[in-house]
Chains A and B, each alone.
Chain A
């Protein structure tokens, strides 16, 4: 069947839709059969989910355990710490978005819709006010940033300030949250903390490893190759176990050593389980990132380095100004893919006894009142995972578009 499809630009009419359907869905006998079979399965599946979500399911299990899902056993009178971090992030996100690129109408509508859903679900007392504050902060910062970009010439310095702000927010979050024993962290809070720390820490480490792997110094190259190949050859669960049970044997005990005749006392380092999980995830992810970045490095033509050398640029500047920007841009989709995998892999920390989002979803159904409500709880958990992962994927596309200017 080789009929041409009508051009997209023409207005959609019933006649056009029928024409399209005839050409694409019912073009031949096998095609028609396939269409019917697929439609039947699709309809059954959609109807099944629809019926469950709106009729069969009893959502009290989610409603009554919101706190567990989102923050675990984080003490109520310390929750303000999380809100302060969220306010900071909302303001910075609005600012950055406004400074680097405008928000399209579609995205804005999607975001507002999502927020309305959250609001409908959480609108209750302080939570409602805090959510409203987040929206206000984001919108205000965004508007201010757009104004700055449009009417003044300070977009450049403001961008530097925003980057500094993000770094500062990391310090702020650490200072605020570490006051609460990490054994009490749980749910989405723990999942997001592990994912964000993992991403932020493994990215530079991965870039360093990738660059080190191409180094002309054999010691550095061998170390990087060894690290990457060793870590990639081991499952994340093994690393988590190692961090939980073997790391303490190595670092937690105070020990005295005699080095070259000098007595040295190594103080023991206390590591809590969350910190161990962070370390394991970072170590694991950085090895994969290193290989992705190496692919990007190889995609940069040799002539680029030669041209930069011929201008008198030194090795570090060639790497930072010429090679890495091109290499990283080429592999943004793969990098974000790795980050999404990392985000979902955080669910593995249950095996060292942490109650992240998925485990929280299982725990709530152990309560006598909610026995047998696994489907509701897990569906809710899946929805949260999907929203975050999907947002990351969209953000990556936006990033590609923003950076894609002048692509050859």
Chain B
């Protein structure tokens, strides 16, 4: 078990225990979303508990990315209800910025800020959203880079790093805000094969440390090992949900079977 440095969720995760009596940190009720005439989400209802790791799979265009992007309002849902940690997502900007700073997000394309050093990428929001002092934010950046295994890269620019290193910086940047939830939108899809493992290792460690995580990925190894729950999306709906064992040994839905047969 690696050490966590941000002072949260330091206890080792006990999967059985973590589920019982834990609060629902994310509640979605009948969430719908249209892009013009196209309906991307056709009524998503789900609750996710604290410390839970949820893996979302599904064919492309099934709405899985759109769904996790509605959770921090990068996409606005058109109807239904999303409640994060007791606060409903709506047009209230104050709520929004507070909720966003409590949800970390890691993107497929890393989206590091190319004009800033690794250090500044990590500390930017700390100084401008958390109003943390420079000394403290730098210390936090150093310890987070240590945690993701690249402390020596702190003064480089993103373009000077490999894809895997960039994605690890992106994870460190998200963790710096000490989020209660982490969203991963296909975090390894843009990486060369030899770099996927270094990113998955960091995510594994994070899952074991008790972080609430929602991960859109096609990495079966990671899913089997880390996930508490699987969601299978198709055409804007959750068509099947269950434990990893259920998913890999006994899928019920035809579409799930078909999808799994194609990617396994």
Contact = CB atoms under 8 A, between A and B. Distances in A.
A405 B113 CA distance: 13
Nearest to B173: A311
B157 A310 contact: no
A306 to B, nearest CB: 5
7 closest A-B pairs (Cβ-Cβ)?
Answer: A406-B157, A312-B101, A307-B111, A311-B125, A310-B105, A303-B111, A408-B159
A93 B129 CA distance: 35
B128 interface: yes
A312 B97 contact: yes
Contacts of A310: 72, 74, 100, 103-105, 174
B115 A312 contact: no
A102 interface: no
Contact of A407 (B72, B100, B114): B114
19 contacts: A306-B74, A307-B112, A308-B113, A309-B72, A309-B100, A310-B105, A311-B129, A311-B174, A312-B125, A313-B125, A314-B93, A317-B128, A329-B115, A406-B115, A406-B157, A406-B158, A407-B114, A408-B114, A408-B159
Most chain A beta-carbon contacts within 10 A, residue among B93, B113, B115 = B115
Interface in A353-408: 405-408
A325 interface: yes
A11 B107 CA distance: 50
Most chain B beta-carbon contacts within 10 A, residue among A307, A310, A322, A326 = A310
A207 B179 CA distance: 34
Interface of A: 301, 303-304, 306-314, 317, 321-322, 325-326, 329, 405-408
A303 B107 CA distance: 8
A292 to B, nearest CB: 18
Interface in B93-132: 93, 97-98, 100-101, 103-105, 107, 109, 111-115, 117, 124-125, 128-129
For chain B, what secondary structure do more than half of its interface residues adopt (helix, strand, loop), or is it mixed?
A: mixed
A407 B159 CA distance: 7
A305 to B, nearest CB: 9
A321 B93 CA distance: 19
B160 interface: yes
A307 B129 contact: no
B100 A311 contact: yes
Given A311-B173, A312-B98, A314-B97, A406 B104 contact: no
B128 A321 contact: yes
A313 B156 CA distance: 23
Given A303-B111, A313-B125, A406-B158, 10 more contacts: A303-B109, A304-B111, A304-B113, A307-B107, A311-B124, A312-B97, A313-B124, A313-B128, A314-B97, A406-B114
B26 interface: no
B177 interface: yes
B155 to A, nearest CB: 10
Nearest to B105: A310
Contacts of B159: 406-408
B157 A405 contact: yes
Nearest to A312: B101
Contact of A321 (B109, B124, B160, B173): B124
Contacts of A317: 128
Most chain B beta-carbon contacts within 10 A, residue among A313, A405, A406, A407 = A406
